Amino acid sequence: MSENYVECLIKAKTSLPALLLKYLLIAVAAVFAVGMFIRIPFCFFGVLLAGAGAYFVNLYSDIEYEYLYIDKEISVDKIMAKSKRKRLATYTLDRMEIFAPIESHQLDSYKNRSVKIKDYSIGRKLQPDLRYAMYYEGGEKILFSPSEAMVKCMKNAAPRKVFSD
């Protein structure tokens, strides 16, 4: 049995509120650091709290998704701030209903379903829109931003379920 292996790493869009909060906490930490040098009491604790807050905001806002396709199975990992990895989900092509570009006419019959949406894509619409939607077991809609090689391997494994319009 031949095995196909494709790996794809994409960076998700950082939200504007998270970016503003991170820079605000860095500025607050800098102000407390200046206060610490001119010997204002309790500024050390302000530096510690604002610095820790900036670290955690950065950790949870700098996100990358890694898709790994190995022989009819897609696994999705979340990489936070290039330092922490977490396995989010594993999907098999046998249980998938359809995989097509997000604006494809192939998805027209699926649009009126009430499903749970999971977004593992870049998080924004580009021109042209390269995001794909996968309906999985009738209850989930998963958004991806795969590479062309990954779509090609999936199309070879499940030609009636994968569309690349």
The residue whose two tokens read 């580009």 is 126
Residue 148 has pLDDT above 80, yes or no: yes
Q: Tell me, what amino acid is at 145? A: S
Q: What pLDDT score does 1 carry? A: 44
Rounded Cα gap, residues 161 and 6, in angstroms: 18
Residue 69 has pLDDT above 80, yes or no: yes
Q: Would you place residue 146 in the very low, low, confident or very high pLDDT band (cuts 50, 70, 90)?
A: very high
Residue 2 has pLDDT above 70, yes or no: no
Element spanning 150, H or E: helix 148-157
Taking residues 15-21, report their average pLDDT: 92
What pTM value is reported for the model?
0.83
Q: What pLDDT score does 54 carry? A: 94
Taking residues 26-32, report their average pLDDT: 94
Locate 141 and state its tokens. Answer: 């809609």
86-115 pLDDT, tens digit each: 999 999 999 999 999 998 899 998 888 899
Rounded Cα gap, residues 14 and 85, in angstroms: 17
Q: What pLDDT score does 10 carry? A: 93
- Residue 72 phi/psi, 5-degree rounding, is 65, 30
Cβ–Cβ < 8 Å for 122, 11: yes
Q: Which are the contacts of 82, defined by CB distance < 8 A and separation ≥ 6?
A: 62, 64
CA dist 100 → 66, 76, 107, 131, 143 (Å): 19, 18, 7, 9, 10
Residue 7 has pLDDT above 90, yes or no: yes
